[in-house]
Amino acid sequence: MAHKEIKIFGEIVLPGQSKTINMEIARLHTMSKLKVPIIIERAKKEGPVVLFTAALHGDEINGTEIVRQIIVRKINKPKRGTIICIPVINIFGFVNRSREFPDGRDLNRVFPGSPRGSLAARFAWHLLKEVLPNVDYCIDYHAGGASRFNAPQIRIVPNNPDLKHLADIFNAPFTLYSKNIAGSFRSACGRMGVKILLFEGGKSLDINNDVTQEAVRGTKRFLNYLDMLNPKKKVKEAPAPSVYIERSDWVRATYSGLFQNTTPVGKLVEKGEVIACITDPFGKFEHDVKAPHTGYIINSNDAPIVYQGDAIFHISKKLMIPVAFADEEENTHDQKRTSPEV
């Protein structure tokens, strides 16, 4: 789609221009201003508009680091078209190191929002009204919450060939099929015709370099496919095709105690394999945690203490071979895939 004129919050950005527009919806209770920078880079040559967003949940700062690196490495300066970066959407949660807004609401559950609703709803409404109408593609960067570490992965809705193709291009270690959640940013983008990939990797209140570089490499492949990547930027192909996952199950702790996790995220484990141990603080028992079925660990709990019923592992259940690689000699789900070297 060609966008000769982009207008956000009353400010016009023409082809060939660079501009930072500050979104200010509300101030802190101290009357201090709190602005959300929207960083826009436009090439002179027409092309798509791509949006990179992070910190929709304020404590998922690994996404912010990904977008920051896209900016400082000048990956956001397109060969053609426009790249919009919003490194921190939930600025209130970011300041407070909190997932939610000060009103206790999850921004990723209130879309499309309302101009007269809660603080979170107002942010959602302005984002959809002012930014999204200009956008063709979006990558939204997230991390696991509550000490749970996500393997680098792309999430897309099932039965959408366009998103499946874009996920193939990004080629994260894992790609999960997951339905849109009501009120989510991803759902709102889909309704507005914006093709969106949701990236998950790492955990909240943490920056992981392997996850960051995995996301940056995938983003460069994505931009290169759209013919937007600066020719000076090198594209590194992934060492193996993405492992597609249709189904997955959570493993929950059957005991409370000290959690001794011995299995790295991303590892392919066999049914019955010991993947962790739960012990009491006083040396009375040690309980082995075994994999309930064969699959990849796509999320693991990094907390040192767990309670009975806590989610401690997320393990893939049904794996799919990407069509582009279906004729290869070895099935992709037989390959051990972890985050490659930076």
Quick one: average pLDDT of 32-48?
Answer: 95
Domain identity same for 193 and 268:
no
Cβ atoms 84, 135 nearer than 8 A: yes
**169-217 per-position pLDDT tens digit:** 999 999 999 999 999 999 999 999 999 999 999 999 999 999 999 999 9
Domain limits for position 305: 249-318
Domain identity same for 279 and 221:
no
331 falls within a domain: no
328 falls within a domain: no
Domain identity same for 138 and 197:
yes
Residue 322 has pLDDT above 70, yes or no: no
pLDDT at 143: 97
Whole-number average pLDDT of the chain: 91
Residue 146's CATH number: 3.40.630.10
Phi-psi region of 227 (alpha: psi -120 to 50; beta: other; left: phi over 0): left
Number of domains in the chain: 2
Domain identity same for 219 and 148:
yes
| CB-side neighbour CA atoms (13 Å) of 52 | 28
Quick one: average pLDDT of 223-243?
Answer: 94
**Residues near 217 by Cβ (< 8 Å), separated by ≥ 6?**
235, 236, 238
Of residues 146 and 142, more confidence is placed in 142
184 falls within a domain: yes
164 falls within a domain: yes
Please list the residues that pair with 287 across neighbouring strands: 278
pLDDT at 319: 66
| pLDDT level of residue 331 (50, 70, 90 thresholds) | very low
Instruction: Give pTM, 2 decimals.
Output: 0.91
**248-264 per-position pLDDT tens digit:** 999 999 999 999 999 99
Domain identity same for 215 and 286:
no
161 falls within a domain: yes
Residue 144 has pLDDT above 50, yes or no: yes
pLDDT at 116: 94
Q: How many helices (H) and strands (E) does the chain have?
A: 6, 18
Domain identity same for 267 and 218:
no
Residue 289's CATH number: 2.40.50.100
